[in-house]
Amino acid sequence: MLFNSYPFIFLFLPIVIAGFYLLGKLSGKTAATAWLTFTSLCFYAYWHPPFILLLLLHITGNYGISRLMHGKSDKQRGIICTIGVVANLLVLGYYKYTLFLLEIISPLTGKLDSLPNIVLPIGLSFHTFQQIAYLRDTRKDPSKADYPFLDFAFLVSFFPQLVAGPIVHHNELLPQLKNRFTVWRLRRFAPGAALFLMGLCKKAVFADRVAPISNLLFDGVAGGATPGLADAWIGVLAYCLQLYFDFSGYSDMACGLALMFNFRLPCNFNSPYKSLSLVDFWRRWHMTLSRFLRDYVYIPMGGSRGGTAKTACTLMGTMLIGGLWHGAAWTFVVWGGLHGLGLGVNHSWKASRKKRGLGGMPAPLGWLLTFLWVMISWVFFRSTSFSSAWTILGSLIGLNESSGDMWETIKHNQFGLMVVLGVIVLFAPNSQQWLRRYRPLLDFSPPRFAAPGKFHPGWIEKPAGAFCLAVFLIVILLNMPRVSEFIYFQF
C-alpha cells in the first residue's frame, strides 16, 4: 500500500488513527502498541500477503537471537551475534543478490539456461539493517537492548518506516513508548499532518510530474536513442530533481505519519543539494543509512585510524557496500565507487589544506564541484546498463549528435516546472525548517537547519489551519497525475 494512494489516505490511515487513540484511552499503552503492530503487518501484507510470514519469521528469529545473548559471556555473545548477523545477510543475499550472482556465474559455467524467479520482498533491506543494528547493540550491552517482544515487533514493523526507512535505531523509537504517546496532542498531530502533506505534494505534484522528462532520456537511451547535448543535460537534471523530491517526499511523509501517532523519527533528508562538499552531502542525504554505514561498517573496518591512504580505502570499501545495498547491479557498485572516490579525495584535500594552514574552497566552487559529481554519479544510479550510462555521459560533454527530436519533446514537457523546482531546492527552506517550531524530528546529530528569518507556522494548530490543510490535500489529490511507487521502494 502506497502512502500516496487513495485507499491509504481515505481508508487505512483514518481507521488506524481512530483505533490507536481509542484503544489507548480505553485499554492503555499495550493495546495501542499491539494495534499499531497489527495494522502495520496488515499494511505490509497488502502488497504481497505471503511475505508477511517471512517478516514474522525475521522478527521472531532476531528477537530470539537477541534473548539468547542475555546472561552470556562476552565471547558467547560474540558468537551468537555473528551467527545472527550472518543469518540476516544470508536471507538478504538470497532474495536480493542470487540473480545477480547467477548472471555473473552462468556465462562462465554455461550450465544455467534460465534464471529462477525470485521476488525481492519490499523493505527487506531496511528492516534487515535495523535488526542487525539491534543484534550488534545487544552484543555490546544486553541491558541497553532489553525490550518485550511486542515492543521489538513494533520497532521493526511500524508502517511509516517499514518499507523505505528512515532506518530507526531502537534507542530512538522504543523509549518513546514510555511517554504518554497514546494521548491525543494537537500540537503534534497538526504538524505531523502538515509534514505528511508536504511530502505528498513533493511526490505527487513535483516528482511525478518531472519524472516523464528523465524517463524520456534514460528509457530512450536504453532503447537505442542517442541524446544531444541539451537532451542529456535536461534529462539528467530532471532525474536529479525527481529523485530529490521523491525521496524527500517519502521521508517527510514517513516522519509526518509517525508524528501523527506522537512518535518522532530521525531526520533522513536535509537539503543535500545545498551541500558544499561530498562529505557534507552524505551528512544530508539518506542520513540514517549514512549513520548505519558509519557505525556498523566504516568504524569496524578501521574508520579514520591509520592515515589518509587507509582512510580512503576504508571509505571506498564502505561506499562500495552502500552501492551494492542499493541494488544488485554493477551500475550501483560503480555509483558507490564514485562516491567512495569522491569522499577519499575530499578528506585528503581537507587534511592537506589543514596541514598547510590554508582555508577551504570558495563556497560557490565547492557547491558546483559537489553537485556535478553527484549528478554524474546519478547517471550510473539510474541507467540500466553501462552502455546507456556512457552514451549519456558522452552527450553531456557534447560528443554525440541527437538521433531524434527528444529536445523538442522535452522543451514542451514541464520544462518551466524544472526551473521552479530548482529554485525551491537551492533557495527555499526545507520541511524541517518550515516546521522547526514544533521540533517534528529527532536530532541524532548536530542540526544544520539554518532557517532564514522568523517563520512560526502556529496557524496549523488552529481551526483555520485545519481548513487550510484540508484544502491543500484536495488540491494535491486533484493534481496527482497518477499513483506511482517511490523510487527507494526498489531497494
In angstroms, the first-to-last Cα distance of the chain is: 16
Instruction: Assign 20 to helix, strand or coil.
Output: helix
Spell 230-251 as b/e; 16+ CB within 10 A means b. ebbbbbbbbbbbbbbbbbbbbb
- % pLDDT > 90, the chain: 45
Whose cell is 519469521? That residue is: 57
Separation of CA 486 from chain center: 10
Q: What is the mean pLDDT of residues 381-389?
A: 92
448: confidence class by pLDDT, cuts 50, 70, 90: very low
Average pLDDT over every residue of 16-41: 94
pLDDT the model gives residue 66: 93
Task: Pick 38 or 455 by higher pLDDT.
Answer: 38
Percent of all residues in the chain with a pLDDT value above 70, rounded to a whole number: 89
Give the span between the Cα atoms of 138 and 151, in whole angstroms: 15
Q: What's the pLDDT band for 445 if we cut at 50, 70, 90?
A: very low
Least confident of 65-69, 210-214, 324-328, 414-418: 414-418
The pLDDT assigned to 182 comes to 83
Average pLDDT of span 425-450: 74
Distance CA 378, CA 361 (A): 24
Candidates 228, 37, 70; CA nearest to 138 is 70
Nearest Cα residue to 123 out of 159, 93, 150: 159
* 10-31 average pLDDT score: 93
Distance CA 243, CA 207 (A): 7
Q: What is the pLDDT of residue 423?
A: 92
Is residue 398 pLDDT above 80, yes or no?
Answer: yes
Q: Where are the domains of the chain?
A: 6-186, 188-490
Per residue in 103-117, pLDDT (tens digit) is: 888 766 666 666 677
Q: pTM of the full predicted structure?
A: 0.90
At 266 the three-state DSSP class reads: strand
On the question of pLDDT at 446 being above 50, the answer is no
Q: Is the pLDDT of residue 450 over 50?
A: no
> pLDDT tens digit string along 213-270?
888 899 989 988 888 888 899 899 999 999 999 999 999 999 999 999 999 999 999 9
- What's the angle, vertex CA 319, arms to CA 316 and CA 325, rounded to 5? 145
Tens of pLDDT, residues 270-296: 999 999 999 999 999 999 999 999 999
Q: What is the mean pLDDT of residues 142-169?
A: 90
Count CB-CB contacts under 10 A for residue 418. 21
Tell me the pLDDT tens digit for each residue of 125-137.
Answer: 889 999 999 999 9
- The pLDDT score that the predictor gives to residue 152 is 95
pLDDT at position 141 is 86
Q: What is the pLDDT of residue 403?
A: 66
Residues 361-370 have pLDDT tens digits of 888 999 999 9
Q: What tens digit of pLDDT does each residue of 308-357 get?
A: 788 888 999 999 999 998 888 899 999 999 999 999 998 888 878 777 77
Statement: residue 455 has pLDDT above 50: no
Q: Is 326 a catalytic residue?
A: yes
Mean residue pLDDT of the chain comes to 86
- pLDDT value at residue 260: 94
Instruction: Say what angle helices 363-382 and 330-355 make with each other, to 10 degrees.
Output: 160
* 165-186 pLDDT, tens digit each: 799 999 899 999 887 788 888 8
Q: Which of 58, 169, 326, 339 is catalytic?
A: 326
Peptide bond into 166 cis (omega under 30): yes
Residue 478 has pLDDT above 80, yes or no: no
**Per mean pLDDT, which range of 33-47, 80-94, 304-318 is the poorest?**
304-318
Q: Could you tell me which residue, 43 or 414, shows the higher pLDDT?
A: 43
